Amino acid sequence: MKKLVWVAAITLALGFSAPVLAADGGALYKSKCSACHGATAKGGPMAPGLVGTDFIGGDAGAIKDTIMNGRAGGAKKYPKFALSMPPFKVSDAEADAIVAYLKGL
């Protein structure tokens, strides 16, 4: 009986992990990214929009790499935005959550 309770608890925890991860990604996006990319990721005064772009539709690893290591040369592709994207100090799990959130927009 004890084994059954543990199996049920683990199953429930795993079943709820994806929505929790997505919620954390939204909160992380809001705190780390929205000041530049806008609250709805459609662009802001400091950075271009992300929604519906080939970048967000592409490789999740490239998005994660950009979050964690930054991105230079933003002014070449988007002359309106003079700044490059700085790297953010987030954990792998936090970066994955942000990527999942962005992919879900």
- Domains contained in the chain, number: 1
pTM of the full predicted structure?
0.73
Q: How confident is the model at residue 10 (pLDDT cuts 50, 70, 90)?
A: low
| pLDDT tens per residue across span 77-92 | 666 776 788 999 999 9
Q: What is the DSSP letter of 84?
A: P
The residue segments making up the domain with residue 33 are 2-104
What are 16-54's pLDDT values in tens digits? 445 444 449 999 999 999 999 999 999 888 888 999 999
Positive or negative CA dihedral for 98, 33, 37, 35? positive
Conformation bin of residue 78: beta by default, left when phi > 0, alpha when psi is -120 to 50:
beta
In whole angstroms, give the CA distance from residue 71 to residue 66. Answer: 6
Residue 13 sits in a domain whose CATH number is 1.10.760.10
pLDDT for position 79: 67
What pLDDT, on a 0 to 100 scale, did the predictor assign at position 20? 47
Rounded CA gap, 65 and 29, in Å? 15
Cα gap 70→47, rounded to integer Å = 13
